[in-house]
Amino acid sequence: MRARGAAGWYAFAVEGLSLEKLLNRCAQEGIRLRRVCRCGAKRATGSVRAADWAALSALCERMGFRLTQGEASGPVRLAGLFRRRALLVTGVLAFLVLLWGLTSCLWFVRVTGAGPYAGEVARILQAHEIRPGRLRYTLDVAALQRDLHSQLTGLAWVGVEVSGVYLTVSCVQAEPADEAQADGPADLVAARDGVVRALRVYAGTPLVQAGDVVRKGQVLVRGEERAFDGAVTPVRAAGEVEARVWYTGEATVSGTLLQTEPTGRVQEARTLCTPFFQIAFEEGTDFTDYDTAWRALPLGGIFPVWLRVARYEEVERRAVARPEEEVREEAGRAAWRLAQQAAGFHAQVVDKWIEYSMIKEGGYRALAVLETVENIAVAPEERTDELEE
């Protein structure tokens, strides 16, 4: 009888005369073979379905062939393992079921930033039957967050997050009225131009989203909130708007350097000097470009009288070309320095590059760009001077 439920294949080797007769009988009786290969006049190898192994073995015995069983395929070996290691298989299945059950439940609850409202948060969590072992898919996160926000008026913002076996309740306490609401409701505006990368709004209504291009002075978070009943309440906006900001520095360096060379012409002018008056014997020089050297000659011994001699040496100025690499490096250093001064030390630089362009007479103009990531959201009163530029 064939074990029709068996799966997989057995490798076999058969020996005897007239192997073709055996193969023909296998085909007649529905014994499925594959990869049959003649290894000689009296020997052949191949594979037979596990369900047909008993039938092939009986057929070989009736026809006088010697049948040898080889390796079994994966499903057959796995079935044998299940039969031989029943306890192991049962243990693995039980472990998988237990693991699924453990990871489908909430086992840890974390509350951060609640401060004096921690007891109220715990009370609301108990009202929602949140306890270790609670199935995650039975928890209505939106309803829990709505109740926390509506019942805890002393918190400016409440967030609920389910991650794995953890339930995290993040709270941001509202500032005291004498501090936060001293000037009444307020918006958050952009301190500088940039491209919004991420938002974290604790109070107020965001007016921008990731990817938006914003200009300096633009309102980022409106100082108002809409309650669940539709009412709009003015608030002092709070949050962070992380944006990509670019700072530039531009510098131009000439490609020539002025040098002076003496022409050989010299003039002198003498002046008699005392503490009370001076007498010039010659006028100054008529040279256009010159270098001057002074010397004093004492004349009066113990009296304060001396002769001042001015020596004028005519020079000729001419432009000398500077090495191109030197000019380029100097322009680059100056541009980087200006860009870094504009960015300051508060920004996180994520990329930088510099562009060069040649100008007349071998000079270079360098444009350095710093790309930073920083929080650009500020209250208008914090950056009044900057916003009015």
pLDDT digits (tens, 9 = 90+) for 187-204: 899 999 999 999 998 888
Can you tell me the mean pLDDT for 286-308? 86
- Which residue pairs from 210-215 have beta carbons closer than 8 angstroms and sit at least 24 positions apart in sequence? 214/190, 214/243, 214/376, 215/190
- Higher-scoring residue by pLDDT: 52, 222: 222
Q: pLDDT category, 163, cuts 50, 70, 90? A: confident
**387 pLDDT band (50/70/90 cuts)?**
very low
Q: What is the CA radius of gyration of the chain?
A: 47
- N- to C-terminal Cα distance for the chain? 96
pLDDT of residue 256: 85
CA dihedral of 315, 317, 321, 326, whole degrees rounded to 10: 80
Structure tokens at 126: 């108990």
Taken in order of first residue, the domains within the chain and their CATH numbers are: 9-81 (3.30.70.260), 105-173 (3.10.20.310), 187-240 (no CATH), 250-254+323-387 (no CATH), 256-321 (no CATH)
pLDDT of residue 355: 93
pLDDT at residue 84 above 50?
yes
Q: What's the rounded Cα separation, in Å, for the pair 211 and 200?
A: 14
Answer with the residue of higher pLDDT: 208 or 29: 208
In this predicted model, what pLDDT tens digit does every residue of 91-148 receive, in sequence order? Answer: 778 888 888 777 788 888 888 888 888 888 888 888 888 888 888 888 888 888 888 8
Arithmetic mean of pLDDT, 13-38: 83
Compute how many other C-beta atoms are within 10 angstroms of the C-beta atom of residue 341. Answer: 10
The DSSP letter of residue 34 is E
The first and second tokens of residue 139, run together, are 């928890």
Give dist(CA 220, CA 267) in Å, integer.
Answer: 72
Q: Between 301 and 158, name the one with better pLDDT.
A: 158
Which SS3 state, helix, strand or coil, does residue 325 take?
helix
Q: What's the pTM?
A: 0.43
Q: What is the pLDDT of residue 76?
A: 60
Q: Which of 125, 130, 136 is nearest to 103 (CA)?
A: 136
Local confidence band at 181 (pLDDT 50, 70, 90 cut-offs): very low
CA distance 166 to 372: 34
| pLDDT at residue number 386 | 43
What is the predicted pLDDT for the residue at 368? 94
Rounded CA gap, 222 and 230, in Å?
16
The Cα 86–Cα 82 span in angstroms is: 5
12: Cβ contacts below 8 Å, ≥ 6 apart: 45, 46, 47, 48, 56, 67, 68, 69, 70
pLDDT in tens, 265-278: 999 999 998 888 88
In sequence order, what E strands does 82-193 have?
105-106, 108-112, 134-135, 155-163, 166-173, 188-190
Rounded Cα distance between 192 and 217, Å, is 7
- Top pLDDT among 86 and 302 is at 302
Q: Which residues contact 281 (CB under 8 A, 6 or more apart)?
A: 269, 270, 271, 272
Token pair for residue 230? 């539709």
Residues 6 or more apart whose Cβ sits within 8 Å of residue 388 = none
Measured distance CA(111)–CA(121) in Å, rounded: 8
DSSP 304: S
Confidence of residue 283 (pLDDT cuts 50, 70, 90): confident
Task: Return mean pLDDT, the chain.
Answer: 83
Average pLDDT of the segment spanning 156-174: 84
